[in-house]
Structure formats: C-alpha cells, structure tokens
Amino acid sequence: MRQETDMPEIESVTPEDFDRRIIPPSAFVADEAAFLDVRLPDSQGKLNYSMIGPGVSQNPDQHVNVRESHGFNLGAAGLPGGAINSQHLHYTAEVFVSLGGEYEFRVGVESDQRIAVSGRFVFSVPTWIFRGFRNVGTDDVTLYAVLGGDDTGGIMWSPKVMHQASLTGLYLTVDGVLLDTESGDVIDDSVELVSPMSETDIDSLRRYTDAELAERLIADGDLAWSDRALLDAVLPGHASRLAPVLGWGMTMDRDHEPPIRNLHGFSIEWLAVAGGESVSTHRHSDTQVLLIADPGWTLEVNVGPDKLSRSLEPGSVVSVPRNAWRSFRNESDKDAVMLVINGGESRTRIEWPAETVGAAEKAGWGIDASGYLAPKHLLGQHFRAIP
C-alpha cells in the first residue's frame, strides 16, 4: 500500500509527449530579433531562446518549444564574447542560472552596480529594478533564465536603450510588438508607442545595496547539501544530495532552509546523484522542469510495461508532466548534478511507492506528519499526559 494521497491517477506518458518535453540544446531555436536592443553595437550576435513558455520575447514569431502553462517560463540568452544584454526591468521574478561562463551583471538604470561572477550559480534579481549583463569571457555562453508566472507582463527598457534603439529604427508598442521602420513598418497616429520611464518614476524605484544583491547570488560554494533530503537516499543504490536555492522545494530534510525565501512562484534546488545510482520512482502534482548540468543522466517515466527511458544531454531542458511517475539515474561513474524547478509557492510533496516506503521503514526511516524524513522509532508513538 502506498502513501495516502489525494493525487489523481493519470494515464501513462506517451512516447510522443515524453519526447516533445525533452529539449536538448540542438532543439533550441534561436531568435535574433526578440528584443529592442538587438541592433545596438554591444548587443550584436545576441540570441534569445524560449523553451518553456514565451517568456518576455517581443517577437510574436518567437519559437517556443513547450507552450503549456507551468506557472513559470524558462528561456535563455546566447551571448558571444563581450556581448551585452541591455538594461531593462521585470515585473515578475527573473532568476538567472549559469552552468558555466564569466559574467558581469549590471544593476541600476545607469548600470552603476557591477557584480562579477563565473562558473555555476543562481542569481535572483529583484523585480522592479533595472538590470543587464555582459559575457566578459571570450567563449560563447548560454545563460538560462526562469521567469515568474505564465504571464510575465513583459519588460520595460531603460530610457537610454529606447533612445539608442530608435536610432536603429526599432520601436516598441504598448501591446509589446516590436516595430522596425528599416524593414517597412510604419508608425503613424494609430500606433501607440511605449513611453520611456520618467526620471520621477525611476527615482521612486527601490535601491538594493551590494550586500543585499550578494545575498541573492548563490554560487556552488554557498550551497548547503543534505544526503537525507529524499526518502530513498537511505537505501542502497540511491545515494543523492539536495541543495535548496530558493523556495521550499521538495526536500524532506526538516533542517533545510533556502537561502532565498521571498515568493517567486516556483522553487529551485540542485540535485546530485552518485555515479551509478538513482533517485527511485516517485511522483508529485506540481509542474517540474529539469535543467541538466552534467553528463550521465537518464530519465524514466511510467511504471510497468509502459516505462520509457531517455538519456539527457548537458544543457537540456526537460518538462516532466504533473503526477507522472519518474526516476532519475546517473549512468556515469562520478557525481552528476541537475537543477530542479518545481512550480508553486508551497512545498512539493513527493509520493513514493509502497515498496520504497516499506524498504525505508526496514532501514529505520519513515516520514513524519509534516512530510519530513525521521527515524522510524520516533514516529507513531502516543505519549500519555502527566497527571
């Protein structure tokens, strides 16, 4: 008997649905005309990708790999060495995820705060502040971004960027449509353009100190890993570690707390599995997207004769259907890491099959009433009140 749950049964994931939800880097479709700044000298060669939802692209023809609602969007910016993504403002969460590269983030309408960071990291930039970034390395990089909500509300460009873009023939309408007068678009009295933000409105925006921004940048060395974050981690063959980044996620370690706690509409955790081991079959009712950092990962969905298995390339984005049984195996001979994004503001409650729950109990572990891992001998005891 498996854990009691209100989770509905679902039909097995079909091979066609499974395959369309796995987006390797070779399936990323670049858009060179997604944003207002594409013709600015420092932004030449910048590419935009929309893998989960349309994000904040200003090109209605932007290709989107998976359009169904997840409660968040996931896309990426491709930058050649030295290229800049210009100053802009978001209304919902924007969380950058780097799997490698060298960057300088620029905060403020005049880019007056600079943050240099490289390697693997997560950076949650507050809403309603201007931000931009540069690839300060020489190699091409892909910087992923998770955006809050199905409807992000678009973005607001800094007045300077809007002016510079107009000199190249690019304008933005209040409906979020990018107009190109050099390609024949006409701007007349019937077209309402976005007005630049006034100095008064800019001055009203909150300022964040360097220290406050640093608290929202979580690099590899900042992670608090737990090897008791998933029920099956106590069993042979399932050695895993989990490190929360933002939101409460799916960790079952009651002492785990994310370094970033304000609401984003989703949670982010790093998952590591030892070489040759796996996170065994489980499921939950939240949307889930995986970002594959290391080679060696295999994803399985369904149980029994309908089980499907696919190898996952580094850099791939994977959407796992709600309520689907899934497992993650590391086929390599060393630790492999992936980023796990779960939709929603509350904890993601995992359901495990009866055999996993029973094996954990035989090993001396169970799940307490709050859904956390605990020694089995301390669960289910009834203490008599002292008269």
Domain boundary among 217, 237, 261: 217
**Percentage of residues in the chain having pLDDT higher than 70:** 95
In a domain, 383, yes or no: no
Q: Is there a domain that residue 2 lies in?
A: no
Which amino acid is present at 163?
A: H
Mean pLDDT, rounded, of the chain: 94
- With cut-offs at 50, 70 and 90, classify the pLDDT of residue 59: confident
Tell me the residue range of the domain where 49 lies.
31-217
Give yes or no: residues 240 and 212 share one domain: no
Query: pTM for the whole thing?
Result: 0.94
Query: What span, in angstroms and rounded, lies between the C-alpha atoms of 219 and 216?
Result: 10
Identify whether residues 297 and 228 lie together within a single domain. Answer: yes
In a domain, 180, yes or no: yes
Place of tokens 């609401």: 263
Residues 171 and 308 grouped into a single domain: no
Mean pLDDT of the 68-95 span: 97
51 in a domain, yes or no? yes
pLDDT at residue 31 in the model:
87
pLDDT of 2 above 50: no
**Whole-number Å distance between alpha carbons of 368 and 381:** 11
Q: Mark whether 212 and 236 lie in a shared domain.
A: no
What does DSSP say about strands 217-219 and 317-320: parallel, antiparallel, or unpaired?
A: unpaired
Q: What is the pLDDT of residue 60?
A: 78
384 pLDDT band, cuts 50/70/90, is: very low
Dump pLDDT digits (tens) for 135-176: 999 999 999 999 999 999 999 999 999 999 999 999 999 988
- Read off the CATH number of the domain in which 59 is found: 2.60.120.10
Task: Let me know if residue 387 belongs to a domain.
Answer: no
| pLDDT-wise least confident of 5-9, 203-207, 300-304 | 5-9
Closest CA to 62 of 178, 181, 191: 178
Give the pLDDT confidence score for residue 1 in this predicted structure.
33
Q: Are residues 262 and 188 in the same domain?
A: no
Of the candidates 162, 195, 217, which is a domain's last residue? 217
Average pLDDT over residues 294-307: 97
Short-list 57, 5, 7, CA closest to 31:
57
Residue 270 and residue 202 share a domain: no
111-131 pLDDT tens trace: 999 999 999 999 999 999 999
CA 255 to chain centre: 23
Note whether residue 360 is domain-resident: yes
- Tens of pLDDT along 219-253? 999 999 999 999 999 999 999 999 999 999 999 99
Domain identity same for 369 and 232: yes
Give the mean model confidence (pLDDT) for residues 309-315: 98
Q: How many domains does the chain have?
A: 2
Tell me, yes or no, whether 201 and 231 share the same domain: no
Residue 19 lies inside a defined structural domain of this protein: no
Q: Quick one: 193 and 280 in the same domain?
A: no
- The answer on 66 and 199 residing in a single domain is yes
DSSP code per residue over 199-266: HHHHHHSPP--HHHHHTTEEEGGG---BSSSSGGGGSTT--EEEEEEES-TT---TT---SB-S--SE
pLDDT band at 80 (very low <50, low <70, confident <90, very high): very high
| Burial degree of 295 (CB within 10 A; 0-12, 13-18, 19+) | middle
- pLDDT score for 6: 55
Of 193, 217, 241, which residue constitutes the final position of a domain? Answer: 217
Q: What is the pLDDT of residue 172?
A: 93
Q: Which residues pair with 219 in a beta bridge?
A: 121
Q: Does residue 105 lie within any of the structural domains?
A: yes
Residues 38 and 183 in one domain: yes
The SS3 of residue 41 is helix
Q: Are residues 120 and 264 in the same domain?
A: no
